[in-house]
Amino acid sequence: MLDASLPGPEYFVVSLTVSNTAARPKITATIDGEDGIGIDELSSTTRRLIRQIDEAYGEEAAYNLEVTTPGADQPLTDPRQYARHAGRTLALKLADGRELEGTLEETTPEGLMLTEVVKEKNKKKTLPTALFPFADISEARVVISFK
């Protein structure tokens, strides 16, 4: 139902959770777009999803619905989320346990081209740009800087 509620093919589902901790189930749908997503798209998705739930379960169905975007502190989970962050600093956790930080130069169908920055003797050293396959990345986050 959520996929059918999206406003266009450039939008995608990041996550969908249903929790039954209260008297009413809470449905949390996190969606994004290749170039981000605006409030109008969130609103239209919410309206479409409510209509579909009402048609499937009846208008008397009791639930709480939240349709949102990934927050700035949320990890990037879909390869389509990376492209718009080119030029920004990412913190990566790799499947082998390594953690690194660097500038996202570009994305490819295989992975990320990242210029890693490492600290050596109180100095920062920039390593040559390298490809990090999506399959090797266990977590990626945009580093928020207030400089």
Q: Residues of CATH 3.30.300.70 domain(s) within the chain?
A: 2-68
CATH of domain 2-68: 3.30.300.70
Nearest to 30 by CA among 76, 96, 89: 76
Within the chain, all domains assigned CATH 2.30.30.100 are found at 75-142
User: So what's the pLDDT on residue 145?
Assistant: 79
The C-alpha atoms of residue 106 and residue 113 are separated, in whole angstroms, by: 5
pLDDT at 35: 86
Give the DSSP per-residue string, 90-139: EEEEETTS-EEEEEEEEE-SSEEEEEEEEEETTEEEEPPPEEEEGGGEEE
Entry pTM? 0.76
75-142 maps to CATH 1.10.4030.10? no
Cα 80 versus chain centre, distance: 8
pLDDT at 34: 85
Residue owning tokens 């009846």: 58
The pLDDT, as a whole number, for residue 22 is 66
Per-residue pLDDT of the chain (147 residues; tens, 9 = 90+): 999 999 999 999 999 999 887 678 899 999 999 888 999 999 999 999 999 999 998 888 888 999 999 888 889 988 989 988 999 999 999 999 999 999 999 999 999 999 998 888 888 888 999 999 999 999 999 998 777
Residues 6+ positions from 83 with CB-CB distance below 8 Å: 34, 106, 107
Give yes or no for a contact between 82 and 140, defined as CB atoms under 8 angstroms apart: yes
pLDDT at 73: 82
